[in-house]
């Protein structure tokens, strides 16, 4: 059984420390850690103060029928636009790159995001952007996608992999890797 500390203080808060009592967060200048509780015979223990998430996704999707629509002359603008869409959706674009027939995105999302909805909006918005800004009315993305979760320790390696897509695809085609 967990017994929450019952000592509440009314002193001015110092250094953002908190004490929990009866489900209420109160400032406590003498707390040793963000949240403490006591167990009979065990003394004070620390609890996590809030939720911590590290939800990184490596997303890959291709142009329709893998047609090489994405020209080098506007590729970087497309990647920047994709990053803006991710930000507008409340995500964090970490790395975006690709070649003429597909793109890779490394993004961070909140727990409340629905991955399918995020991808649908990224593809829809970017297709409209290509139609309007680039003038390629036949441009579209494939229906499907690949999505992989990435652990925090693997983020630098995935970021590097995405960053060197042109070099990587000189050796192996997209069709060879994903078909």
Q: How far apart are CA 135 and CA 19, in angstroms?
A: 59
Neighbouring CB atoms inside 10 A of 174's CB total 20
Q: How far apart are CA 163 and CA 145, in angstroms?
A: 19
Q: What is the pTM of this model?
A: 0.68
Task: Note whether 20 and 34 are within 8 A (CB).
Answer: no
Both structure tokens of 51? 């939720």
Provide the residue-wise pLDDT of the chain in tens; the chain has 179 residues.
Answer: 222 233 333 333 334 433 443 444 444 444 444 555 566 666 666 666 677 788 999 999 999 999 999 999 999 999 999 999 999 999 999 999 999 999 999 999 999 999 999 999 999 999 999 999 999 999 999 999 999 999 999 999 999 999 998 877 776 554 555 54
How confident is the model at residue 18, as a pLDDT?
Answer: 39
How confident is the model at residue 29, as a pLDDT?
Answer: 47
Measured CA angle at 156 (ends 152, 158), to 5 deg: 95
How confident is the model at residue 45, as a pLDDT?
Answer: 63
* 3-state SS, one letter per residue, for the chain: CCECCCCCCCCCCCCCCEEEECCEEEECCCCCCCCEEEECCCEEEECCCCCCCCCEEEEEEEEHHHCCCCCHHHHHHHHHHHHHHHHHCCCEEEEEEEECCEEEEEEECCCCCCHHHHHHHHHHHHHHHHHHHHCCCCCCECCCCEEEEECHHHHHHHHHHHHCHHHHHHHCCHHHHHC
Pick the CATH number of 56-172 from 3.40.640.10, 3.30.70.1290, 3.40.50.11540, 3.90.330.10: 3.30.70.1290
Domain boundaries, the chain: 1-49, 56-172
How confident is the model at residue 53, as a pLDDT?
Answer: 84
């Amino acid at each position: 059984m967990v017994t929450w500390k019952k000592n509440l203080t009314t002193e001015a808060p110092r250094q953002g420390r908190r004490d929990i009592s009866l489900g209420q967060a109160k400032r406590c200048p003498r707390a040793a850690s963000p949240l403490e509780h006591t167990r009979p015979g065990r003394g004070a223990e620390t609890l996590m103060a809030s939720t911590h998430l590290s939800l990184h996704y490596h997303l890959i999707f291709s142009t329709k029928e893998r047609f090489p629509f994405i020209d080098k002359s506007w590729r970087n603008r497309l990647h920047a636009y994709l990053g803006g869409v991710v930000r507008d959706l409340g995500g964090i674009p970490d790395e975006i790159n690709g070649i003429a027939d597909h793109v890779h995105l490394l993004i961070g999302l909140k727990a409340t995001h629905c991955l399918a909805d995020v991808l649908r909006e990224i593809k829809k918005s970017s297709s409209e952007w290509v139609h309007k800004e680039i003038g390629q009315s036949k441009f579209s993305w494939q229906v499907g996608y690949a999505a992989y979760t990435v652990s925090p320790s693997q983020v630098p390696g995935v970021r590097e992999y995405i960053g060197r897509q042109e070099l990587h695809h000189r050796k192996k085609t997209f069709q060879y890797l994903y078909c």
